[in-house]
Amino acid sequence: MTSSSGMNIRSALTGTATFMVAVCVLVATADPALARDINLGGTRIAPDHPTAHLAPNIVELPTIEVSIRKDDGGWRHIKIDAWLAPKDLATAHTMDGMKTSIVKKAREDLPGNRGFDVLKSAHEGNQAAKEVLHDAAAQSLGHPWEGEVLIRNLLVY
């Protein structure tokens, strides 16, 4: 009895395997128009923050990120999102072309000119960051400029 039931199971498995192969062949030869594209990610659909409709005299700087090595081997981080708002459009257009230069100078000046503890304080940190960005823009322009620095985010940790 075991040999006949073993034959039935083996023939059932063979039949099932044949059926599965037939299904795979049918699926593989199906119309390509029925196939769907699958997006597995790897691209950002939306930016980190939505782009705001800014006034023509406002220049949005790229995010400024600075990492400072501590004596004990750890790291301190500063991250700033800021806008520059000069009083005239000509200066704004000039600054728009100098964004990377302004950010580079600000990265160099942030750790040295301002202490980390000053940047960490609530009101004084915001003012210190504004002064550094204002000075970096003046250095990039080659002359002083009139206007404001607007800090959108200031993270110090």
Going by C-alpha positions, the residue among 141, 140, 139, 115 that lies closest to residue 128 is 115
pLDDT value at residue 71: 85
pLDDT value at residue 61: 95
Supply 61's token pair: 């700087």
Side-chain-side CA neighbours of residue 139 (13 Å): 15
pLDDT value at residue 121: 86
- What is the second-level CATH architecture of the domain 59-156? 2-Layer Sandwich (3.30)
The domain segmentation of the chain, as residue ranges, is: 2-34, 59-156
pLDDT value at residue 69: 85
Tokens 């023939």, residue? 11
Identify whether the C-beta of residue 86 lies closer than 8 Å to the C-beta of residue 147: yes
- Mean pLDDT split into 10-residue runs, the chain, 157 residues: 57 67 61 60 59 81 90 90 95 94 92 75 89 95 95 91
CB atoms within 10 A of CB 50: 7
